[in-house]
Amino acid sequence: MAEPIIRFEGVSKSYGGQPALKNFSLDVLPGELLTIIGRSGCGKTTALKLVNSLITPDAGRVLVQGEDVAKTDPVALRRRIGYAIQSVGLFPHMTVEKNIAYVPAISHLEGWKGPARRERVSALLRQVGLDPALADRYPRALSGGQRQRVGIARALAAGPEILLMDEPFGAVDEITRGQLQEEILRIHRESGITILFVTHDIAEALKLGTHTLVIDKGTVQQCAQPEEILRHPATDFVRELVEPQRRRDSILQRRRLPL
């Protein structure tokens, strides 16, 4: 079996004495698209931020490609890990091109100077379903969905092996959300990148994930393939979470039956 690309080993994290994650253990294998779901405040964002060392565990270890992140230079670590969040966080005074090229530029990556930069940015814009002509625009001149896509292009720019996505489609309409979901599935399929994707939408979690992790109150409830979660929920919490989805699926299935 492949070595995990990310491993949580008995990780606990509290804020001001309030536990956010409790004795949390998890292996993520290379190429997985792990969707992470649970109620607001259950510890999803905390789990993501432990991976790129934006926060550090109180107990236990987080390993990325076998290295303890607590012992890894955080800047070098974050270069290997793309991070896309709901609020996107594009620099407003920089064009789309400069925003996307920002991490490669500060990391002095090869092949990001002059016309080569333009080429790379165009390729990334195409990869996320945008017209390369948008490269010269400023973020304020983009729609919300376009900004989300630019945020994803920026997270992919340095060629990371891991992409962390924290409710990246939370602020867009349903149609754009559906399109962005398809883009992510395509990027995952074509690049083989490992993705951790936080969502509060069970339908999205089960649609996108090769695996889905359900968290409640800082503890792992179940981590399995979506079909397994739907068919065999491991706890009452997971059963309650997937029940509406199961009902919707069975109605859809009945509707598809010939009359």
Ligand X SMILES: Nc1ncnc2c1ncn2[C@@H]1O[C@H](COP(=O)(O)OP(=O)(O)OP(=O)(O)O)[C@@H](O)[C@H]1O
Smallest gap from Cβ 247 to ligand X, in A, equals 24
Our finding on whether 200 is near ligand X (CB under 6 A) is: yes
Is residue 52 involved in binding ligand X (CB under 6 A)? no
For residues 240 and 39, the answer to whether their CB atoms sit within 8 Å is no
Q: Does 84 bind ligand X (CB under 6 A)?
A: no
199 makes contact with ligand X (CB under 6 A):
no
Min. distance of Cβ 47 from ligand X in angstroms? 7
Kindly state whether residue 85 participates in binding ligand X, applying the rule CB under 6 A: no
User: Which range of residues in 42-50, 67-75, 92-100, 225-233 is near ligand X by CB under 6 A?
Assistant: 42-50
Give helix 174-191 / helix 144-156 axis angle, nearest 10°. Answer: 20
**With contacts defined by CB under 6 A, how many residues of the chain interact with ligand X?**
12
- Residue from 3, 15, 244, 247 binding ligand X (CB under 6 A): 15
Q: Find the shortest distance in angstroms from Cβ 12 to ligand X.
A: 12
11 makes contact with ligand X (CB under 6 A): no
Closer Cβ to ligand X, 69 or 128, answer by number: 69
Using CB under 6 A, which of the segments 43-51, 111-119, 142-150, 222-230 binds ligand X?
43-51
Q: Is 41 in the site for ligand X (CB under 6 A)?
A: yes
User: Considering the rule CB under 6 A, would residue 82 count as an interface residue with ligand X?
Assistant: no
- Strand pairing of 33-37 and 18-28? unpaired
Q: How far apart are CA 3 and CA 18, in angstroms?
A: 33
Q: Is 22 in the site for ligand X (CB under 6 A)?
A: no
Indicate whether 213 belongs to the interface with ligand X (CB under 6 A): no
The answer to whether residue 202 forms part of the interface with ligand X (CB under 6 A) is no
Instruction: Quote the least distance from Cβ 41 to ligand X, whole Å.
Output: 4
Which amino acid type is present at position 70? A
Question: Taking a C-beta distance cutoff of 8 angstroms, is the pair 159, 79 a contact?
Answer: no
CA–CA separation, 192 and 148 (whole Å): 21
Which residues are near ligand X by CB under 6 A? 15-16, 20, 38, 40-46, 200
